[in-house]
Amino acid sequence: MQKTLLSALALFGAMSIALCGQVRAQALVIDGEEIADAKLMAAARAEKVVDVYSTNQTELMQDILDSFQKTTGIQVNYLRVPTAKMYDRVLAEFAAGKLDVDYANLTDLTLIKEWLSRGILAAHKVPWDDKIAPELKDKDGRWYYSFRSMQTIAVNTELVKEEDYPKSWTDLYDPKWKGKIGSQTVEAGGSALTLFAFLRMKVGADSWEKLAAVSPRTYATSAPMYNDLVRGRVSAALGTASAFSEAIENGAPLKIMFPKEGMATFGSMGNLTSTAKHPNAGKVWVNFMTSKHASKFIAKQGVYATHPEAPRATAAGYTFPEQSELWNISPDQWDRIQTTWPDEWRKIFEKK
């Protein structure tokens, strides 16, 4: 009897271990989409953690971090670093043979290309790579956009009458706006250059000259511009819808415009590093960040996700335009303009 009982217990234990193994080896499927197959999930869970360097603010990421850890059982060690410092930090750690992080991103296509030339990012294609627009990824799977902020116009409603709200980018060329518009300079980074590229490529070849003619107030960084818009030092500004909506949620008298020609977007892009200590967990992280599930959290922050079925961004009571109304500069377009157009911009706007 005792021998039979022991045998039964041993069989039960073996079955329990086998069952647990099956659970651990299950694919990660959320919202009907397989984010990682069983083999990758088993390897990722064995690594237990994923180390992430990101330019995205931690509060913007919190829901994604919580969901990732809950659904995968993998701990995320998350460090937020601004783009300029991120580029130098990763470059220095890689050169010293001490880059242990599994994922890193940037918000500048020029700098991300420098990483690629040095072999810092590895090739890893997400399961829905073939459905992602070519301008939102590297063709060899070495980076993907994760977040994209929409560049648009906002007005201070205490200074601008409703009948004067700009419905088109070209409305800003009216002399009544002279000295009343705030804009970042091209030195502000990739997002500013993308916005001005959109104006020149999509709105009109002479857009820079016409905008410069109304003498916009220019800013080397975004924070002073947003502050001046809220305080009424400028009546309108060109910037990100997510920043405008955050100001509105904090009580600022602003209204976001959606010009009829469309809007430009620019954001953060990254991938698995070539020196990842937890490469499988890193792959799951990249898949998760670009998944339909994560897109829901991203959209609630007023920014756009990469997944082809990502919902429209929402914030401050606004439902933002469809992705089809957005323009994102392609890597090839960026290569053609990033060395010469900033100088052209300076010559035009310094004459204003």
DSSP letter string over 145-161? EEEEEEEEEEEETTTS-
Would you say the CATH fold of 150-265+328-349 matches that of 28-148+267-319?
Answer: yes
Domain ranges of the chain: 28-148+267-319, 150-265+328-349
Q: Phi first, then psi: what are they for 53, rounded to 5°?
A: -105, 125
- What whole-number distance in Å separates Cα of residue 238 and Cα of residue 203? 14
pTM score, two decimals? Answer: 0.87
Under CATH, domain 28-148+267-319 is a member of which superfamily?
Periplasmic binding protein-like II (3.40.190.10)
3-state SS class at 82? coil
| Res 25: pLDDT | 62
What is the chain's percent helix, strand, coil content, to nearest 5?
45, 20, 30
Indicate if the pLDDT at residue 221 is higher than 60.
yes
- Tell me if residue 50 falls in helix, strand or coil: strand
Mutual orientation of helices 2-24 and 38-47 as an angle, nearest 10°? 100
What's the rounded mean pLDDT across residues 214-219? Answer: 96
| Residues 150-265+328-349, CATH architecture | 3-Layer(aba) Sandwich (3.40)
- Evaluate the CA torsion angle 184, 193, 347, 87 in order and state its sign: positive
In residues, how long is the chain?
352
User: Which range is most confident: 10-14, 109-113, 259-263?
Assistant: 259-263
Q: Given CA atoms 131, 133, 134, 136 in this order, what sign does their dihedral have?
A: negative
**Average pLDDT of the segment spanning 235-244:** 96
More reliable by pLDDT, 138 or 25: 138
**What mean pLDDT value characterizes the chain?**
91
Give the pLDDT band of residue 24 (cuts 50, 70, 90): very low
Q: What is the pLDDT of residues 157-207, one digit of tens each?
A: 999 999 999 999 999 999 999 999 999 998 887 889 999 999 999 999 999
Please write the tens of the pLDDT for every residue from 80-134.
998 879 999 999 999 999 999 999 999 989 899 999 999 999 999 999 999 999 9
